[in-house]
A and B are shown apart, each in its own frame.
Chain A
């Protein structure tokens, strides 16, 4: 059973409480998981992947096992822990920032819309987010910052 966790605005759209559990036939990949998700919840078509290109929408990201999978091939196998249902496949909504000083726990909560205990990945987008996605290195740097328990504050770069 594949577990999928969606951001709050998509859970509301599809009237979903908590995680979705899906049976996925064949190889478990981003594409096969999202195909199965959209088959069960047709109203999600076009909201995670573009209708025409089939590509991930720019302001959503895919994570699993604390790794950013957004730039992986949609046909690459997902981690074993996702296939076994030990870890969820996470669809995460980006948030935009400005200059801010916030507590990491608060960031986790705001960034993911998920319970903080999930250790959900989070990333910060620069102010010109309308035009540029953050690079993978920006993502990793920021994700590492908010995971570091020795830090009490994180300053979002703009």
Chain B
């Protein structure tokens, strides 16, 4: 029988939630790495018991943890993230040059084909890779070396590379996103990159349609159709049908086009999910109602999903890496909140139940569907 494992990173440790395929009864293990921020943890698609976790703190910096047994035990691996060559500068919030400084790993993306190969998206934005299970990390400097690098600026959360999407149909192609530089694509396995931001419009930057400078919050695709990308931007939900070469807005009837998460139903490539949030200073759901919005048409037409979600006095946020889906026949959808709840739907979003209610603020949610 299938099992589902939900990997939850929080402000104060990691938690692992497991259930059988019915997804009715859940066990919770953790906190792992208690007291540390766990920005992200994720399992290898080819060896689901191989997990990687990004553990960090303001006191002691970055640690990478690896598990070979599905999270039962963990061991620290390499934590040395060094920019290649002269690090150079990017723009600071006030537009002055600021040296590139490593702060933390935001996202770990295990390879689709090799459990020892993992990509890491870091702050200040750069793209790293390990091929020995996390012992050693090397920057692929072509991304930062793109001519626009000195003009990148941090978003409110820092200048983070937070999204990594390897194309399952083309091993040389990877999509990434940086807040607040925008989206980029490589077609040669990370050696060179180009911005893919045509069609994005950001009214808060000096040149609203600039090649870089857009605050992309998250991106997602369906693995069977990686040329169709969906994006939650600082403002606007966007869609590309040509692997990012051009984008058009699909915010449609959303109550607010601001938010962080976006994900795609594992069985229906045109069914997508977002959680609208009020911009800019408030960062909580409009009207105090926590609503997931689902489009079954690849955008523009959206329906509010509220069954089981608090519809009054709810003022949590849902961070950019805190939504994921399983791949069971009836797609499960999961998201975590800054209030420490992890909500799950086993019916593609029609109804929701909190798996767990009182964790530390949730930073990331990843789901593994296990046979």
By secondary structure, the A interface counts as loop
Interface residue stretch chosen among B56-64, B119-127, B252-260 = B56-64
- Whether a CB of chain A sits under 8 angstroms from the CB of B199 is no
Interface size on B, residues (CB 8 A): 15
* Chain B residues, Cβ within 8 Å of A48: 60
- Whether a CB of chain A sits under 8 angstroms from the CB of B311 is no
- Whether a CB of chain B sits under 8 angstroms from the CB of A13 is yes
Task: A88 to B60: give the CA distance in the assembly, Å.
Answer: 20
- Whether a CB of chain A sits under 8 angstroms from the CB of B36 is yes
Residues 344-359 of B, flagged 1 when their CB comes within 8 A of A and 0 if not, give: 0000000000000000
Is the pair B59, A93 in contact by a Cβ cutoff of 8 Å? yes
Is the pair B82, A57 in contact by a Cβ cutoff of 8 Å? no
By secondary structure, the B interface counts as loop
Residues 54-78 of B, flagged 1 when their CB comes within 8 A of A and 0 if not, give: 0001111111000000000000100
A45 contacts which of B57, B59, B79 (Cβ < 8 Å)? Answer: B79
| Chain A residues touching B, range | 20 to 34
- Whether a CB of chain B sits under 8 angstroms from the CB of A74 is no
* Chain B residues, Cβ within 8 Å of A57: 59-61
Q: Assuming A8-B35, A9-B35, A12-B34, is B80 touching A45 (CB within 8 A)? A: yes
* Chain A residues, Cβ within 8 Å of B79: 43, 45-47, 51
User: Which residues of A pack against B, CB within 8 Å?
Assistant: 7-10, 12-13, 43, 45-48, 50-52, 57, 59-60, 93-94, 130
Is the pair B82, A47 in contact by a Cβ cutoff of 8 Å? no
Task: A60 to B59: give the CA distance in the assembly, Å.
Answer: 6
Task: A9 to B61: give the CA distance in the assembly, Å.
Answer: 11
Is the pair A43, B82 in contact by a Cβ cutoff of 8 Å? no
Is the pair A47, B60 in contact by a Cβ cutoff of 8 Å? yes
Is the pair A43, B35 in contact by a Cβ cutoff of 8 Å? no
